[in-house]
Amino acid sequence: MTLPTDDLRAAVARLAAYFETLTPQSVAQIDRFYAPQARFKDPFNEVQGVPAIGRIFEHMFQALHEPRFTVTQQLVDGAQAFLVWEFHFRFQRFDTTTVQRIRGGSHLMLDNDGRIREHRDYWDAAEELYEKLPGLGTLMRWLKRRAAR
């Protein structure tokens, strides 16, 4: 049985609010938003299960200063949704004063309870992250210019 459209939209709005207000403490509540055997994939990770997904978010808070998501668009179609977001953070090493921004999107497949069963993040790691790192950023920008010729 699939949730009615209004319930799905409400579930997606709750998910967006959770991501926007995510804190190290609220990661402990992740099982309220992900199904037990949920799958998660992004440019750096591919895991299954709530504990593994929780560890990814815990690591985010350990590795970065003040990470936060801003959801700019929500699209809902049946039991799936796409969230367009901006991720803001500061590096713990390198330039710790400049707020960085990554733009991306998340494709979410929901279960009958409105929890995420599949979560796939899409963003360009080369443009959005590697180009911002000292040393590596210079190389990435040079390669990008060479490839554009």
pLDDT tens per residue across span 111-137: 999 999 999 999 886 655 555 555 545
Q: What is the pLDDT of residue 144?
A: 45
β 116-122/64-77 pair status = unpaired
Domains of the chain: 5-123 (3.10.450.50)
User: What pTM did the predictor assign?
Assistant: 0.82
- CB-CB contact of 105 with 122 (8 Å): yes
Task: Report the C-alpha gap between 112 and 8 in whole angstroms.
Answer: 9
- CB-CB contact of 104 with 87 (8 Å): yes
User: Across all residues in the chain, what is the average pLDDT?
Assistant: 86
Determine the residue type at 82.
F
